[in-house]
Amino acid sequence: MKKPLNTRTLLIAGGMLAAASATAATIFEDTFDRGTAGDLNGTAPTTNNGGSTWVADPSFDTTTTTLPITGISTSYLATTLTAGNIYELSVDMSAANNTNSSSSYYAGIGFFNDIYGTDQSFAGNSPSTPWMFLRTSHPTGSLKGDMELRRNGTIGTLYNTNYDVSISRNYKLVLNTNDTDAGEAGDQYSIALYVDDVLQGSTITYSAAFSSGLLADITSVGITTSTGGKTQTFDNFKLTVIPEPSSYALIAGCLGLTSVMLRRRK
């Protein structure tokens, strides 16, 4: 005769389920390690659980290990985001030529709304969704190495980081589409910027009105540049999702309640 599940077994199962709830699932990951150089446009990322291929300017090629871009562009992967999740979008970025120029140039990543020109930076695509950029060059040098997070596409928060842009760092946007319970009626999402897993400034909470239309606006994720012949290098592009924790907590709670009932029956 099979033995019934005991309390200890149920508690262990609940603990395992709680641990699984914190596990991120990869939607896209691209190391740009194609083995041979070639067009980025039309190729699939290294890990492609999102089922999309890159839409990019045909003139931009991957090398055997990275994606160097020397022009103005936006490259993206179509995707659909849903409420109740935490999305992490990250990439390694650097600029090989760390000198000042007559113009201000940048490289960035973002959750993009509709793109109508891959030969333009995202700023030129009427942005309405969150993105960030690293300023890789500036006429006076005063803003070179600084970052900006544009939480709604146009309104920005400046970070005076003054990075040496020739050094590759990991830049990450974390979009939380769970309700932050900030005291306002309706769901309020949030966005945060990390560099090498260190939070920059503080998390920005959206209004309920902005949150209500944000996921419908986001149609893709990708990279963007504004540069006049100066190489910006991207590597290890990644989009992950952490599922809604409340559903796991509910199941774990049910397991805990069942264990209590079993104890009382003994």
Q: What is the token pair recorded at 107?
A: 């490289």
Residue 97 scores a pLDDT above 70: no
Residues 6+ apart with CB under 8 A from 259: 7, 10, 11, 14
pLDDT in tens, 40-79: 999 999 999 999 999 998 777 787 788 888 888 999 999 9
Among the listed ranges 47-61, 134-148, 203-217, which one has the minimum average pLDDT value?
134-148
Predicted pLDDT at 104: 79
Residue 224 scores a pLDDT above 70: yes
Domains and CATH numbers, the chain: 32-204+220-242 (2.60.120.200)
3-state secondary structure of 262: helix
Residue 9 scores a pLDDT above 70: no
Residue 251 scores a pLDDT above 50: no
46 vs 166: CA distance, rounded Å: 25
pLDDT in tens, 11-51: 444 444 444 456 889 999 999 988 777 889 999 999 999 99
DSSP 214-261: HHHH--EEEEEEE-SS--EEEEEEEEEEE--HHHHHHHHHHHHHHHHH
Residue 108 scores a pLDDT above 90: yes
246 CB-side CA count, 13 A: 8
Predicted pLDDT at 208: 93
Q: Find the angle CA(182)-CA(184)-CA(187) to the nearest 5 degrees.
A: 80
